[in-house]
Structure formats: structure tokens, C-alpha cells
């Protein structure tokens, strides 16, 4: 009697229904993956320890909680190898149909021929499952596994049979649309609908612009991971940052390649290339932002972690590229793993303090002043405020700024008497108060102080006019009061352009001995050029995430208040200029009622406000 032979369809069904293997991706790769000389400069068995930062990235693929993995990286960091290891592990341990997407079909063909097929033929576990009659871009394995390899520029290849595993390589280089259809990534991921419980998506790319999918996916991830290393001297844990890379001043690229070193941001010790490699071998991924879920997890790497690069290589590349915008963009994208932002305008705090300090001390009103304006930035726990003096030619001086914690303190500084060297008295003519936070309180405060205070709100988009008045439509004492919408980008442009001018030309200055904290906040933003919906757009943004810019906002509001009060139409009296005698400006009837010298107290909604008018 002949033994019973298991039919192929039963064998296929059993292979499909078997439980996933117990090995993580990195364990599978260490046991089965073999690199050929055509694939790597270090042929032989795969060793995750050579690129230890890939371990947690690859093993996230084995985590049942993880549905989407994003990798924001520099080039040559092993991203493609990580994808290949995930594919191989899935074929052997948890099979399912796969789709691998590359920017162009031609690139897909090359990678299939020179990377994917060599991996299969050099790995005995994959080779024994592989159908060698498979087409170049359509690979078949026993167990019902099919790998479709497509280009993002071929929409017909992106929308056919159901897919469990989707691998998107260099997504930022995909065309915006696949023909007349949606984005290639969207089309590919649409095919996972039949696998809602166990689908996996892997998105590995070097970022190009902030508006690109790679950076957007990083920002939207449930958990953002960064790779931390420990200083060999003090044991502090941090991530490699380009700002800590040093080389001798005036070095050529070749000199920097030989002499560059890294400086610990905690203890200031010098770190060599040998120490760097040892630090990377013991690196640890830590979440830098999380909402508690790992469903969408993202990892971020720069070139410092690569075992193939030394500190000097990075420094030399920067010196070669820094003066050419197109090469600088490549350095930022491909070496730092960051999206490119073309900086149109910026200023640092040291330069501001060195070049923009006037000869006038704090609280001293400069001669020729025709008005004072104020600006208040309202935060949840405190207020930041500034008082700025204006001459008729729009030269202006910050004469005071600070932090307050109550509305009464704001009243004090905005109703205080400020004097010039001749002892002439000045008060703030108009103060613009930010209403973006604590809106109701701001409206009430401005309502009972409307002779010198006006609520404002910054616009997130450029406006046709510098500011636009609207009417507050709500019950209470602020009903019918004016609210100003302010084009904040316009006033930031104005401030930074006037920083470059002299006193005779409408320059912008701070008082002598101005504090560094104020200067840091004034220079906390830079004007960058970004690509939005295919167009290049200039806009102001903070230099680094979380950088405080409160005093800059205050100065924007103070500048707007000067416009509202008529600074552009005023002309100083020639005799007063010649005598350098400042006369307190009269409050204009249409904007500011005549001061009565009366101190009043008002109560509204359980809040007490005190109003003091200057006689």
C-alpha cells in the first residue's frame, strides 16, 4: 500500500495557517541572512551588531501592537537592509502577500535584480521556498506568498490584489500623484483593507521638505523614537547633534576631515571616532514623544550613527556644501536626516546685543520721542510685556520689558510715567494685548481700559492689510469693542528689516544693558522658504521646537499699536528736534479720550480692574 501523500493545496493551507515564528526580525537575520560581495563591502553572515541601531527598528516589525513603522534617516544607514530583513522574516515565519514600492519602476527593477534576488539565493530558508520561475517584479514563494515590486510612477501596479505587508522605500521621492489618482503611498496602503487586524506598513525615507510625507508622518506618529548614546566621560545620555561637531577655525575640508571631533553637550569633553563607535554599539532607543500607543511608531537617525563615517567625513562634507544652496540641501537631507528649510532671514541674539543697543539706559525715554506703545503676550500662567518709544521717522527703542503674573501688574507698567533726561513725562498711548489665550479675560480687561488698551489676534495667514479691525460680538462689557486681526509675518518682516537701519533711517533698538533672555526671544524665529502644495512659500517659524518667542510677539503687537495710533503720519516739530526736547504727545480724540487724572475701580464678573489715566 502506498503511503498517503499530502496534496499541495493542503500543504499550502497548513503553511498559511500556522502561527507566526518566535524569532524577532533581528534574530532571524542573524541566524539566516548571508550577504554576498555584490550586496555589501562586508560579505558573510549578517550581524545586527555591526549596525546595532537597526535592531529595535527591525524588531518593531515583530511587535503585534505596531501597525506602521516610519524611519526618518540619513542615507547609507541600512534602511533598505532593514526592509529586506523584515521581508525575509515574514516569508519564513508569518507569510502574507507583500508590496514593495520604489520611486521609479526602473529603480524597482534594479533593486529586485541586485538586492532582493541575491538575498533570496544566499539564504537557504528563503531559497527553498522561492519559485525560481518568478518574474523580475513578481516573486512567488511556497505558502501563498507573493511579492510585488513596483515603481510609484506606475499607478496600475499599485491597485490590484490585496496586500498584508506594504514597504515604502524613499517615499519623499515619490511623485505627488500616481497619474490622475491619489498619492502612490495612499494607493498602496488602500490594498491592506482586507487585513485590518494584522497588516504592517513600513515607511523608510530620507526627508526632503517639511511638507513631504516623511516628516509629516514623523510628526503624526503615536511614538517618536530617537537613538541615545552615553558620553564616555560623564555618562550623560544624548543624541548626536551637528551643532556639537567641532573643527579648527578656518580649516579646509581636508583639514577638517583629519581634525574634527565631537564635544559632549553636558561636560564639554572631546570625543574621538573610536569612542563614537563604542558609544553606538551600546546605543538605546528612547521615546521623545508619545501618546501611550505604539500603533504608529517612528524612528529618527542622522549620519553620526553610521559605522562607515567618521566625524571628519561629516565636517568635510559640510564645508564642501555650505556655500551652495543645492549642495547644502543635500547635506541637510542626506547627512543630517532633516527636512530642508531655506533660510531667507535670521539673526542671532549675540549680534542683536552687539549691534542694536542704544546709548539710553532702561526706562529712559530717548529725545525726539512722539509716542509710546506697548505689547502684551498672554500665556496661560503669566504675561510678557514690552514698552517701545517711537520717533516720527519710525526709529524706535525698547525702553522696558518684563514678565507679569496679574492684570494689575500690566495696568501698572502701561500706566506708569516714563521720563526722558529733561524729566518730561510720557505714558503708553496704546497697548495691544494678545487675545489668543484667556480670550474672555483679555476682552474684559481691554473693555474697562479701552482708552489705552486694544485686543489683538495674530493671523496664521498673510493678509491684504497690516491689520484688520473687526467687532467683538458677544454679551458683556466688551460687546461692540474693536478687535484687531494682525498680520504677524508683516510686522516680523518690518522689525527685522529695521534692525539693519541706522537711527536716522528708522532703526530698531534696545536699551543699553539689555538682557540676553530678551535677545534670545527676539531672535527665536527665522524666515524660511518651504514647499506648500507644490509652491515655494516664505514664512516665519521658530528655529527649534519649543523655543520661546514671547518678547518677539510683544514687539509685533507694539509695532501694530504704533501703526494704529498714527506713527506713519506724524512729523516731529523741527524746533523740538533741534532742541532735543521731547514733549508728551497729545492723545488723539478718535483713538484716546482726554486723560482726566481720575483713578477708577470697576468690577465685572467677579474681577476687579483699576484704571489710572495720566493727567
Q: What pLDDT score was predicted for residue 325?
A: 72
Cα–Cα distance measured from residue 568 to residue 69, given in angstroms and rounded to the nearest whole number: 55
- Is there a single domain that holds both residue 216 and residue 362? no
Q: What pLDDT score was predicted for residue 541?
A: 81
pLDDT digits (tens, 9 = 90+) for 150-165: 988 877 777 667 899 9
pLDDT digits (tens, 9 = 90+) for 507-544: 999 999 999 999 999 998 888 766 665 566 777 888 76
pLDDT digits (tens, 9 = 90+) for 318-340: 999 988 877 888 999 999 999 87
Cα–Cα distance measured from residue 141 to residue 143, given in angstroms and rounded to the nearest whole number: 6
Cβ–Cβ < 8 Å for 536, 384: no
Q: What pLDDT score was predicted for residue 589?
A: 36
Cβ–Cβ < 8 Å for 144, 13: no
- Number of domains within the chain: 2
The pTM (predicted TM-score) of the whole model is: 0.59
In a domain? residue 306: no
Q: What pLDDT score was predicted for residue 476?
A: 82
Residue 372's φ and ψ, nearest 5 degrees, are: -115, 140
CATH code at position 216: 3.40.50.300
In a domain? residue 546: yes
- Selection from 98, 338, 390 nearest residue 205 by Cα: 338
Q: Among 39-43, 87-91, 378-382, 509-513, which is the least confidently predicted range? A: 39-43
In a domain? residue 489: yes
With 60 as the cut, is the pLDDT of residue 239 above it? yes
Q: What pLDDT score was predicted for residue 609?
A: 44
In a domain? residue 282: no
pLDDT digits (tens, 9 = 90+) for 566-615: 898 875 443 344 444 444 444 433 333 333 334 445 444 455 544 444 33
With 80 as the cut, is the pLDDT of residue 346 above it? no
Task: Give me the half-sphere count of Cα atoms (radius 13 Å) on the Cβ side of residue 133.
Answer: 1
Cβ–Cβ < 8 Å for 558, 384: no
- What are the residues whose beta carbons fall under 8 Å from the beta carbon of 214, sequence distance 6 or more? 70, 72, 171, 172, 203, 205, 206, 207, 208, 339
In a domain? residue 309: no
**DSSP string for residues in 180-204:** TSS-HHHHHHHTTTT-TTT-EEEEE
Q: What pLDDT score was predicted for residue 462?
A: 80
In a domain? residue 262: no
With 70 as the cut, is the pLDDT of residue 449 above it? yes
Q: Which domain holds residue 492?
A: 350-612
Q: What mean pLDDT comes out for the span 478-504?
A: 92
Q: What pLDDT score was predicted for residue 181?
A: 61
CA angle 242, 245, 248 (to 5 degrees): 140
**DSSP string for residues in 282-328:** T-EEEEEEE-S--SEEEEE--GGG-TT--HHHHHHHHHHHTTSHHHH
Q: H/E element holding 224? A: strand 223-230
Task: Point out the domain boundary residue: 161, 191, 220.
Answer: 220
Task: Point out the domain boundary residue: 166, 188, 220.
Answer: 220
In a domain? residue 334: no
In a domain? residue 359: yes
Cβ burial, residue 150 (10 Å; 0-12/13-18/19+): buried
The percentage of residues in the chain with a pLDDT greater than 90, rounded to a whole number, is: 61
Task: Point out the domain boundary residue: 185, 220, 255.
Answer: 220
Amino acid at each position: 500500500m502506498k503511503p498517503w501523500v499530502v496534496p499541495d493545496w493542503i500543504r499550502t493551507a497548513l503553511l498559511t495557517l500556522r502561527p507566526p515564528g518566535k524569532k524577532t526580525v533581528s534574530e532571524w537575520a542573524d541566524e539566516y541572512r548571508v550577504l554576498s560581495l555584490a550586496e555589501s563591502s562586508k560579505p558573510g553572515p549578517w550581524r545586527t551588531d555591526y549596525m546595532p541601531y537597526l535592531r529595535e527598528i527591525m524588531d518593531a516589525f515583530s511587535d503585534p501592537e505596531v501597525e506602521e513603522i516610519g524611519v526618518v534617516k540619513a542615507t547609507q544607514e541600512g534602511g533598505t537592509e532593514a526592509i529586506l530583513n523584515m521581508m525575509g522574516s515574514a516569508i519564513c515565519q508569518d507569510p502574507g502577500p507583500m508590496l514593495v514600492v520604489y520611486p521609479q519602476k526602473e529603480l524597482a527593477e534594479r533593486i529586485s535584480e541586485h538586492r532582493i534576488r541575491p538575498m533570496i539565493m544566499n539564504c537557504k530558508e528563503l531559497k527553498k521556498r522561492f519559485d525560481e520561475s518568478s518574474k523580475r517584479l513578481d516573486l512567488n514563494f511556497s505558502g501563498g506568498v507573493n511579492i510585488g515590486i513596483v515603481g510609484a510612477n506606475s499607478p496600475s501596479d499599485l491597485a490590484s490584489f490585496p496586500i498584508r505587508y506594504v514597504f515604502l522605500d524613499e517615499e519623499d521621492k515619490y511623485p505627488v500623484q500616481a497619474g490622475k489618482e491619489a498619492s502612490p503611498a495612499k494607493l498602496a496602503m488602500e490594498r491592506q483593507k482586507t487585513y485590518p487586524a494584522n497588516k504592517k506598513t513600513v515607511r523608510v525615507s530620507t526627508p526632503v521638505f517639511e511638507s513631504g510625507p516623511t516628516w509629516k508622518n514623523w510628526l503624526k506618529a503615536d511614538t517618536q523614537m530617537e537613538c541615545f548614546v552615553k558620553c564616555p566621560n560623564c555618562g550623560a545620555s544624548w543624541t548626536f547633534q551637528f551643532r556639537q561637531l567641532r573643527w579648527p577655525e578656518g580649516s579646509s575640508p581636508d583639514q577638517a576631515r583629519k581634525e574634527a571631533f565631537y564635544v559632549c553637550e553636558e561636560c564639554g569633553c572631546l570625543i574621538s571616532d573610536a569612542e563614537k563607535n563604542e558609544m553606538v554599539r551600546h546605543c538605546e532607543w528612547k521615546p521623545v514623544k508619545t501618546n501611550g500607543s505604539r500603533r504608529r511608531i517612528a524612528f529618527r537617525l542622522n549620519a553620526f550613527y553610521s559605522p562607515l563615517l567618521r566625524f571628519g567625513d561629516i565636517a568635510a562634507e559640510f564645508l564642501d556644501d555650505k556655500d551652495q544652496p543645492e549642495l547644502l540641501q543635500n547635506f541637510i537631507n542626506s547627512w543630517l536626516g532633516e527636512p530642508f528649510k531655506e533660510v531667507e532671514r535670521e539673526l542671532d541674539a549675540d549680534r542683536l546685543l552687539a549691534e542694536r543697543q542704544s546709548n539710553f539706559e532702561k526706562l529712559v525715554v530717548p529725545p525726539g520721542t512722539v509716542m509710546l506703545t506697548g505689547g502684551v503676550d498672554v500665556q496661560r500662567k503669566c504675561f510678557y510685556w514690552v514698552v517701545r518709544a517711537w520717533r516720527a521717522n519710525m526709529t524706535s527703542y525698547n525702553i522696558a520689558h518684563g514678565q507679569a503674573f496679574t492684570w494689575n501688574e500690566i495696568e501698572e507698567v502701561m500706566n506708569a510715567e516714563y521720563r526722558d533726561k529733561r524729566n518730561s513725562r510720557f505714558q503708553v498711548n496704546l497697548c495691544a494685548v494678545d487675545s489668543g489665550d484667556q480670550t474672555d479675560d483679555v476682552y474684559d480687561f481691554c473693555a474697562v481700559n479701552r482708552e489705552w488698551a486694544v485686543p489683538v489676534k495674530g493671523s496664521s495667514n498673510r493678509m491684504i492689510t497690516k491689520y484688520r479691525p473687526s467687532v467683538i460680538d458677544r454679551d458683556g462689557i466688551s460687546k461692540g469693542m474693536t478687535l484687531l486681526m494682525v498680520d504677524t509675518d508683516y510686522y516680523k518682516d518690518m522689525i527685522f528689516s529695521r534692525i539693519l537701519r541706522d537711527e536716522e533711517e528708522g532703526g530698531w533698538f534696545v536699551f543699553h544693558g539689555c538682557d540676553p533672555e530678551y535677545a534670545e526671544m527676539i531672535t527665536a524665529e527665522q524666515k524660511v522658504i518651504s514647499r506648500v502644495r507644490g509652491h515655494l512659500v516664505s514664512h516665519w517659524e521658530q528655529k527649534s521646537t519649543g523655543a520661546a518667542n514671547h518678547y518677539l510677539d510683544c514687539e509685533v503687537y507694539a509695532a501694530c499699536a504704533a501703526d494704529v495710533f498714527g506713527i506713519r503720519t506724524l512729523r516731529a516739530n523741527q524746533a523740538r528736534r533741534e532742541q532735543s526736547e521731547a514733549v508728551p504727545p497729545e492723545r488723539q480724540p478718535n483713538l484716546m479720550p482726554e486723560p482726566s487724572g481720575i483713578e477708577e475701580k470697576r468690577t465685572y464678573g467677579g474681577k476687579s480692574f483699576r484704571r489710572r489715566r495720566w493727567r
